[in-house]
Structure 1
């Protein structure tokens, strides 16, 4: 597992092998069956291009009320438990003794993207963020803690992990595009991004 640095973000190439990826996808399908994927809506009423759901004690949601963590899915059911395989990954790469209490699943279909943003809706922002890529390759862009300025990008492949911690915990980052069909992991194509965090409490902070 090779480690690289991108503007303070630690990139772990090939952190999860092919067998582990396939097993995890099956577990994530069970999560999505219990808490269906949905299109979040921004406070301005625009639907995001990704579909998402969550696992853990809390799940991230977005609607006209803003961005926040909630203890239940928008349809009312409790979030499923975080798959143990992901908890093992957190222990291996996060450097944190505090386990994650939320796991966000983003599905990127053809043409989906995610603009530059900060992960700042958590109650305590000193805990790391661990992000795992599954499926199609994605162009990952990293900027600065302050909005604007120079950015750098790298292609993430299936099984790659990015860890945002320390001074890089609040850097702006996003996904410019995916290479749809570049991986055979998901039969219908696309990319799953799995993000582990310590949310700590419900909140209504916005980037």
Structure 2
């Protein structure tokens, strides 16, 4: 990672750049679930959810890589120690943006996809929304974000990092394998990859 780069907790005012990265991390899936096939609709929701802070798409559960004052990467994670209101705030962000009737449809559509994705176990730290801006790729930022999550997982006494990836995303799969991940489980659409952690006392960020 460039020496002038840092990884820090995301902030609300990072949204103008960070939401672009979040969307790029799962554009097809996010468009299908939140955009009903329309990317702009999904992106507008993500902007709204980011600003609210809590829940799956809020800034409070994200970290950014910052290089020379510019945001160049993004990552999030899932685990058993998330705030008790995490799911409630995720649902509230959907209802607030779409209204109750449309929100129910979106939640049902989301559940159909979630059934295909492997959730992290109690002993695992799940990684999501990993993205690096185009101009900052191949500079070690993606690897640094993964390493940041390794340290976080070690500090939480997790045994492994896990993440889900589209089976068609061969470039991402090769990237994760290069960093020591292996294929754990798979289905027709997604593959879960896993990397064992050495349990330690790492500390990566406040959240």
Q: Same fold (TM over 0.5)?
A: no
What's the TM-score, normalizing by structure 1?
Answer: 0.32
What's the TM-score, normalizing by structure 2?
Answer: 0.32
The one of the two structures with greater contact order (alpha-carbon pairs below 8 A, sep at least 6) is: 1
Which structure has more strand as a fraction of its residues?
1
Larger Rg: 2
